[in-house]
Chain A
Amino acid sequence: MRLKRLILFALLSLFSTPYLFAQENFKLSGFGSLGVVTTNSEQAGFRRDNADKEQTRDGEINLNSLSLLGLQSNYRFAPNLEIVGQALLRDHPTQNIDNILRIASINYEPLPDWQIRLGRVSQRTFLLSDSRPIGFSNIWTMPVQEFYSLLISSYIEGLDTTYSVAVGPGYLRAYGNFGRTTVYLQEPGLGTTKLELSRATELNLEYELTDWAARVSWAQAIQDNNLDSLQILIDGLTGFSEQLGWQEGFTLASALDTTDKQIEFISAALTYNDGNINFKSELGRLQSEARSVDRVNSAYISLGKTVDRFTPFVLIGYVKSDTSGPPEIVAPIQTPELNQLLAGISARLSAGFDQKSIGIGIRYDINSYSSIKAQWEHKQIGENGYNLWAPDSNFQYPNRDENLDVLSVRLDFIF
């Protein structure tokens, strides 16, 4: 039913113009996407990111992963004071207000160059992290999986400030925020996991010069709880350790535990867009104090050229863990239950990120408010590098390198 409504919105958008409703102080508007994705992967399930409710496998056509509808209202009390609310409807792992409400903020500009936002604001950890759902603003059918799937949160509740100043021929922008966030993830076989992150802090610096922009960013947060799948392993290990007086087990359980541990992102980006050539590239590094979270390096390069209404593009993505393999765990006793638990821990620590992709695609601007895109990506995944994908129903990943293809088509619109 939701999909039917979305299709109706999409069709209406082709004949409409932004915005739904606009007055001097009030504006109601939105964005949407209708997408399909398919793959030739038989065992591992393709997912846009960890919040993708349904994974896609060989022969399946997923209509939900890339389809969404966003509604936004802005009310301006004064030239420098505005409230913004945005709801994002999509196939969330859990349908609740936390997932649906993406922005709820008061924006205040005490001076023209300063902006302070208070409330729930979209997160700007990576270059496009806050515009990920807004398909019309990008040339791809979806943000590069190798880079953007690593970032699981989408908003910050707290304080957010931006300062902009002219430096030389361009503008320098400093941005920072502090707050907390909640993330709902889809864990295969376990359903939805709710992850709480506190003391989330982001700082970034951006220099924009006509068509060029360069950006560096640092972000960190403290995890307040574990993923359900990890908590099961930690509880099991702690139980055996208490039962057996096994000190090494306690040490390992503590190393695996992500509670009260820091997770950190560092990234740099360079973009060029003159309306003709569209270039984007980002480098990223994810690291955590917890042993159960991989240290990961990721990058992508994308280049497109606009000819009339067409923008063909190529993209290359890369993600790789640099964590060493699982530690040697010697069980104090041999029982099937303990061996199974240790095998589970070992499998979890072995599974990492090792994926490269090359893709080509094309964007066609139907009109000034809607576009359609098609994209084919070929992905090479190393034996222990399937973490961006979902395991099969037996919680197994392929025990070999694989070459997989992902094909996606998406209609994006604003209204």
Chain B
Amino acid sequence: MRILTCSILCMFLHCVVHADIYVIVNTENPIKELNKKQTIDIFMARTQSYSSGLRTYAIDQPNTSELREHFYKSLTGKSVAYVNSYWARLFYTGRKRPPADHFKNSEDIIAEVARNKSAIAYVEAESLPENAKVVMVLPIIKEKK
């Protein structure tokens, strides 16, 4: 229903919905689902803990990844340049560290989420394993050229 609504909206906004991005957490994480604001708060480091009190460990796709661009566009409505600029202000002042971005691909990210109870990440539909704990689904929105 959410995707249908989004698709209809996007027709008027000159963009098209192609696929989904899945926000996943460790299966032992008690959290059942996250809304957009909660996910933004975690990935933009406004909060460092889940509602259960468990410390968050956000994981990004590699910097060069197109999925990263789609994720932030869909989640925040903002460009990666904006997100990088936001993090430059927090990271290069020594205050906060951005989501981990040293994992090479979705496979490595999924393995880390399975290993680390605090981890939260996002992957594309093709990489999503059957046993993954999905807490949010975001549409990939591509602007029409």
Contacts and interface: CB of A to CB of B under 8 A. Distances in A.
Contacts of A24: 100, 102
Interface of A: 17-19, 22-24, 27, 29, 31, 70, 72, 74, 76, 79-80, 82, 84, 86, 103, 105, 107, 109, 112-113, 115, 117, 121-122, 124, 128, 130-131, 134, 136-137, 162, 164, 166, 169, 171, 208, 210, 274-275, 306, 309, 365, 367-369, 371, 414
Given A18-B63, A24-B102, A31 B92 contact: yes
Nearest to A165: B47
A162 B94 CA distance: 13
Contact of A107 (B49, B94, B102): B94
Contacts of B53: 112
Contact of B93 (A122, A208, A365): A122
A74 B97 contact: yes
Contacts of A19: 63, 101
B101 A22 contact: yes
Contacts of A208: 46
19 contacts: A17-B64, A27-B97, A80-B55, A84-B94, A105-B94, A109-B48, A112-B47, A113-B48, A131-B88, A131-B89, A134-B89, A136-B88, A164-B47, A171-B41, A309-B81, A368-B80, A369-B84, A371-B85, A414-B92
B115 to A, nearest CB: 12
Interface residues of B, number: 35
B102 A166 contact: no
B82 A122 contact: no
Nearest to B118: A79
B76 interface: yes
Nearest to A83: B94
Nearest to B49: A112
Given A112-B49, A164-B46, 14 more contacts: A22-B102, A27-B102, A31-B92, A80-B55, A112-B47, A112-B48, A122-B94, A131-B88, A131-B93, A134-B93, A137-B92, A164-B48, A371-B81, A414-B84
Interface in B96-145: 97, 100-102, 118
Nearest to B45: A164
Contacts of B71: none
A23 B89 contact: no
A191 B5 CA distance: 66
Nearest to B96: A115
B139 to A, nearest CB: 18
Contacts of B102: 22-24, 27
Contacts of B118: 79
Nearest to B92: A134
A29 B97 CA distance: 12
A31 B89 CA distance: 11
Instruction: List 6 tightest A-B contacts by C-beta distance, closest first.
Output: A275-B78, A112-B48, A112-B49, A137-B89, A130-B93, A137-B88
A306 B81 CA distance: 11
B57 interface: yes
A72 B101 contact: no
B47 A72 contact: no
Nearest to B86: A137
Interface in B41-92: 41, 46-49, 53, 55-57, 63-64, 69, 76-82, 84-86, 88-89, 91-92
Contacts of B76: 275
Given A112-B55, A113-B49, A171-B46, A275 B79 contact: yes
Q: Which of A84, A105, A121 has the most CB of B within 10 A?
A: A84
Contacts of A166: 47
Contacts of A371: 81, 85
A411 to B, nearest CB: 14
A136 B49 contact: no
Contacts of B91: 29, 72
A103 to B, nearest CB: 4
Given A18-B63, A23-B102, A112-B55, A82 B88 contact: no
Contacts of B69: 368
A76 B57 CA distance: 13
Contacts of A82: 97
B92 A70 contact: yes
A345 to B, nearest CB: 39
A118 to B, nearest CB: 12
Given A22-B101, A22-B102, A24-B100, A274 B77 contact: yes
Contacts of A109: 48
Contacts of B94: 72, 84, 86, 103, 105, 107, 117, 121-122
A274 B77 CA distance: 8
